[in-house]
Amino acid sequence: MDVAVPLPHPRWRLPVLGDLLGVSPDHQIEHAVRLARQLGPIYVRKIFNQTVVFVSGPGLAAELVDEKRFAKHVAPTIVALRPLIGDGLFTAYNDEPNLHAAYQVLTPAFSQAAMRGYHATMVQVIRELLDRWDAGAESDVVSDMTKLTLEIIGRTGFGYSFDSFDRPTPHPFVAAMIRSLVYAQRSMFRPPVIGRLTGWRADRRNRADIAYLNAVVDEVVRTRGRDGDGDDMLALMLRSPLDEVNIRHQIITFLAGGHETTASMLSFALHSLSTHPDVLARARAEVDAVCGAGDPAFEHVGKLRYVRRIVDESLRLWPTAPAFAREARADTTLGDGLRLRRGEWVLVLTAALQRDPGVWGVDADEFNPDHFAPEAAKRRPKHAFMPFGTGMRACIGRQFAVHEGVLALAMLIRRYDLRPRPGYRLRVRELLTLKPEGLFLTPERR
């Protein structure tokens, strides 16, 4: 790529290592957002021999979402996941045949009719969490939200229960998945040659984790049988032309991404509600008015507009996809002079874009669901909020995630006050998505 004017970059660039000084493999996004605040809406970093352009300005983002000029790029951080999920929807290259075949097969699983069919199972699983929380014991929030969302995607998508609420800790699938995500993330910071020599233990453990995850998926398929009865995601795939290996990749993609991201959003939302009792009270009043005394019906969820704002605000501050890459379909120029040849790519830093004070105001770093009030949304640039990515490769399950998130929050806040652990300050762990670390809340029945 060529630039008319040199792009800003971090101050202390080193031979071989590039701009790695001060970067932790476990806090890459946090560091990138901090650099965006220092260097502006477009800057460049060099990591070993890889040069990456970071973009966080709404004007530049608006150019990059133009599907005629740009497409999804499978960035190195996503390539690192391919040993785990191969040509699944999230990691497939744009020209892989299974990508388009899988979209055709799986799109009906996220239709309005399909969502209506999932609703009762979602309610049932959430009620199992309520039974646990009724004891009034302190909750490890991320662990409980992980159990909740894994159980929901397992039962609704694949007719399989992980028995999450009968376990003191999440299913071993979760631990293996997290280790694989950490491995993929840290592999980006391995020095060439030396990294292969010193990382053999991590390599061996990752191969074992992938083998275990594959075995769990094979058990999911065996439990259902190969006849494909039903109309959930697994049934659609078993009746489709997708090959057995790709079906495995799709199942791991949905089990991993489909629960990890929503669990993170719910955890951040519950933390914010515990520290903003005024917001919780307003949301609870809406739930009481819309849903009455019984469980929320499918039709109620779309009417919980303030609860939906809480979901959106949580995704704004802590986006499901904190960054996504876009590549040029043909030679083009981005902004005021970044010349990109066909196939060259840049990284849209959603986590910085969605906190831009020029777009979101002086309280851009503060939790305020009224950022999504209708009048505020009208004033905002269209592409300032993209927690699920963009274009043809945007998250296929976004409607599922939003419905699940609104429903779960509605049932929890109607039933409980949320008491935070004294002195807790939010800490964030970075994996496939961002999640709170060390977050404990005590649910108190109303």
The C-alpha atoms of residue 257 and residue 263 are separated, in whole angstroms, by 10
The C-alpha atoms of residue 355 and residue 271 are separated, in whole angstroms, by 19
The C-alpha atoms of residue 403 and residue 328 are separated, in whole angstroms, by 34
> How large is the angle between the packed helices 398-415 and 277-291, nearest 10 degrees?
100
Considering the candidates 110, 254, 385, 388, report the single residue annotated as catalytic. 388
The sheet with strand 440-445 has its strands ordered as: 139-140, 440-445, 416-420
The secondary structure of the chain in percent helix, strand, coil, rounded to multiples of 5, reads: 55, 10, 35
Beta bridge partners of 445: 416
Q: 439, 267 in Cβ contact below 8 A?
A: yes
Residue position matching structure tokens 């791991």? 252
Contacts of residue 334, Cβ cutoff 8 Å, sequence gap at least 6: 55, 60, 63, 64, 340, 346
Q: 283, 306 in Cβ contact below 8 A?
A: yes
Is 395 an annotated catalytic residue? yes
If we measure between CA atoms, which residue out of 163, 165, 142, 166 comes closest to residue 154? 163
Is 388 an annotated catalytic residue? yes
- Find out whether 395 is annotated in a ligand binding site: yes
Considering the candidates 146, 149, 156, 261, report the single residue annotated as catalytic. 261
The C-alpha atoms of residue 79 and residue 220 are separated, in whole angstroms, by 26
If we measure between CA atoms, which residue out of 123, 181, 172 comes closest to residue 146? 172
Is 433 an annotated catalytic residue? no
Which helix (DSSP H) or strand (DSSP E) does residue 116 occupy? helix 112-133
Considering the candidates 110, 156, 395, 433, report the single residue annotated as catalytic. 395
Binding site residues for heme, as ranges? 395
Residues in binding site: 395
Known catalytic residues? 261, 388, 395
